[in-house]
């Protein structure tokens, strides 16, 4: 527990650091990568170039500092971030490196205003925050279905929309000697014994030709079944020169028979199991674009567990060519006994807005996934319509508050 003096100083100086937060984290990343270039193999290079990681780190540290005397209140957010850290293989030894350069950046940006008392307080505060993350992530590493990044072989690659490809992979057996197989990290992974949770994601480790560094990316599972393998989807990202490093590699170069390195499934975006068997509170699954991936797995899980539950499927995308997993969704909805389906094509002028959201029942158990603008619009609309924050669950497809990914 941080000392009373530290709590007092940190509370008093949070507004100052908020004002300079992005500048501090920009200096932090510059200095840390200069001294530890190997960490560029963990941190998302695209988010670095776009400034997203700087903002995410500043937001995370400052939010934790504001609640330093009651970090338990932030447990849901800390857990969400820790899932990312475990998936990226961020280890306890990384935290002192981050701490050293973060405190150094505060000194550099604030200059003479960063007194010894302020620096000592923020050092203690960071150590307190880091210890919470390390403790939570320790448990996650112990519970992971396999350790580190293990090689998997692609056994199926299928276009499910104009810009989305679905992959099915199986563990590489140590006895295999096929061309291109990476056996160095092969592990004894029995698919039949894996228990995946609808809504989870895996993390892919690649070495793209167009980058000087290893690149890690998270991709959601579109099914929790392991009958045929682990199944996930990748959207091609060509928004500008900073995007698409990994997705273009996955679309254009990774083929059936090739291997790819994956860390064990992670994430806490999951169905409320207390409601799955109940039929009085409808399930609402809302997504846009490739955000359909995790909610598709949730639809599958709900139909398998209780097809009688009232279910509302809401999906938005650019047009019919971008409509992902349409056949799979139709097949699952056909197995449900009480469903509504609502599809919105933006190019046709179909609008998913607060006016339409007002038609949703209350109470409802709502799950939302998509781009950050989509997420913000849907969540703001639902909250404005008095859907409680505890009933709206979400998974943004974009950078989250994280010390790493």
Q: What is the pLDDT of residue 243?
A: 65
Mean pLDDT, range 59-66, rounded to an integer: 81
Q: Which two tokens stand for residue 144?
A: 């992971």
Mean pLDDT, range 343-354, rounded to an integer: 94
Rounded to two decimals, the pTM is: 0.89
Q: What is the pLDDT of residue 49?
A: 58
Please state, in angstroms and rounded to a whole number, the distance separating the CA atoms of residues 342 and 359: 12
Q: Which two tokens stand for residue 112?
A: 């003479």
Q: Which residue in the list 124, 128, 137, 395 is annotated as catalytic?
A: 137
Q: Does the annotation count 141 as an active-site position?
A: no
Helix (H) / strand (E) containing 136: helix 116-143
Q: What is the pLDDT of residue 284?
A: 98
Residue 178: pLDDT above 70? no
Residue 217: pLDDT above 80? yes
pLDDT tens for 389-405 read: 899 999 865 544 333 33
- Burial category of 348 from C-beta neighbours within 10 Å (exposed 0-12, middle 13-18, buried 19 and up): exposed
Q: Which two tokens stand for residue 237?
A: 């990202």
Q: Which two tokens stand for residue 184?
A: 């160095």
Residue 304: pLDDT above 90? yes
What's the mean pLDDT when you consider all of the chain?
A: 89
CATH fold group of domain 273-402: Rossmann fold (3.40.50)
Report CA torsion sign: 326, 328, 330, 333.
negative
Q: What is the pLDDT of residue 181?
A: 52
Q: What is the pLDDT of residue 46?
A: 61
CATH class of the region 149-266:
mainly beta
Distance set, CA 126 to CA 108, 165, 171, 370 (Å): 17, 41, 39, 32
- β pairing state of 339-345 and 259-266: unpaired
- Could you tell me which residue, 303 or 40, shows the higher pLDDT? 303
- Could you tell me which residue, 118 or 178, shows the higher pLDDT? 118
Q: What is the pLDDT of residue 240?
A: 56
Q: Which residue in the list 29, 95, 201, 219 is annotated as catalytic?
A: 95
pLDDT tens for 180-216 read: 456 667 898 999 999 999 999 999 999 877 677 788 9
Report the Cα 194 to chain-centroid distance in Å: 20
Distance set, CA 317 to CA 87, 149, 232, 352, 397 (Å): 29, 33, 19, 10, 14
Please state, in angstroms and rounded to a whole number, the distance separating the CA atoms of residues 83 and 64: 17
Domain-wise residue ranges, the chain: 4-143, 149-266, 273-402
User: What dihedral angle (degrees, nearest 10) is formed by the CA atoms of 325, 331, 336, 338?
Assistant: 70
Residue 179: pLDDT above 50? no
Q: Does the annotation count 29 as an active-site position?
A: no
Establish whether domains 4-143 and 273-402 are of one fold: no
pLDDT tens for 227-248 read: 999 999 999 987 655 467 889 9
CATH architecture of 4-143: Orthogonal Bundle (1.10)
Q: What is the pLDDT of residue 280?
A: 96
- Could you tell me which residue, 25 or 386, shows the higher pLDDT? 386
Helix (H) / strand (E) containing 264: strand 259-266
Residue 45: pLDDT above 60? yes
Please state, in angstroms and rounded to a whole number, the distance separating the CA atoms of residues 61 and 66: 9
Residue 72: pLDDT above 90? no
Please state, in angstroms and rounded to a whole number, the distance separating the CA atoms of residues 202 and 231: 9
Residue 53: pLDDT above 60? no
């Amino acid at each position: 527990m941080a000392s009373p003096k530290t709590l007092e100083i940190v509370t008093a100086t949070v507004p100052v650091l908020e004002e300079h937060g992005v500048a501090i984290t920009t200096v932090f990343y510059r200095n840390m990568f200069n001294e530890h270039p190997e960490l560029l193999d963990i941190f998302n290079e695209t988010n670095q170039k776009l400034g997203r990681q700087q903002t995410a780190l500043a937001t995370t540290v400052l939010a934790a500092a504001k609640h330093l005397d009651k970090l338990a209140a932030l447990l849901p957010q800390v857990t969400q971030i820790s899932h990312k850290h475990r998936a990226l293989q961020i280890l306890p030894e990384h935290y002192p490196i981050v701490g050293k350069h973060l405190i150094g950046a505060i000194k550099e940006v604030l200059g003479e205003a960063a007194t010894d008392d302020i620096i000592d307080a923020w050092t203690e505060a960071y150590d307190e925050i880091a210890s919470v993350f390390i403790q939570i992530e320790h448990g996650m590493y112990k519970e992971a279905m396999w350790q580190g990044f293990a090689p998997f072989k692609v056994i199926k690659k299928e276009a499910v929309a104009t810009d989305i490809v679905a992959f099915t992979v199986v563990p590489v057996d140590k006895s295999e000697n096929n061309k291109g197989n990476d056996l160095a990290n092969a592990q004894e992974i029995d698919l039949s014994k894996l228990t995946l949770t609808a809504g989870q994601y895996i993390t892919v480790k690649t070495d793209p030709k167009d980058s000087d560094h290893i690149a890690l990316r998270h991709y959601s599972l579109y099914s929790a079944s392991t009958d045929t393998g682990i199944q996930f989807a990748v959207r091609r990202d060509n928004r500008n020169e900073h995007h698409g490093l990994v997705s273009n590699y996955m679309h254009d170069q990774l083929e059936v028979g090739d291997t790819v390195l994956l860390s064990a499934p992670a994430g806490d975006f999951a169905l409320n199991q207390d409601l799955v068997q109940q039929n009085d509170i409808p399930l609402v699954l809302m997504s846009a674009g490739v955000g359909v991936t995790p909610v598709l797995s949730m639809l599958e899980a709900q139909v398998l567990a209780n097809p009688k539950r009232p279910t509302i499927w809401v999906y938005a995308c650019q047009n019919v060519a971008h409509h992902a997993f349409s056949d799979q969704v139709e097949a699952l909805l056909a197995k449900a006994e009480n469903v509504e389906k609502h599809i919105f094509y933006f190019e046709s002028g179909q609008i998913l807005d607060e006016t339409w959201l007002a038609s949703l029942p209350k109470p409802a158990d709502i799950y939302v996934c998509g781009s950050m603008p989509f997420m913000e619009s849907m969540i703001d609309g639902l909250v404005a319509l008095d859907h409680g924050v505890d009933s709206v669950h979400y998974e943004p497809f974009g950078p989250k508050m994280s010390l790493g990914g």
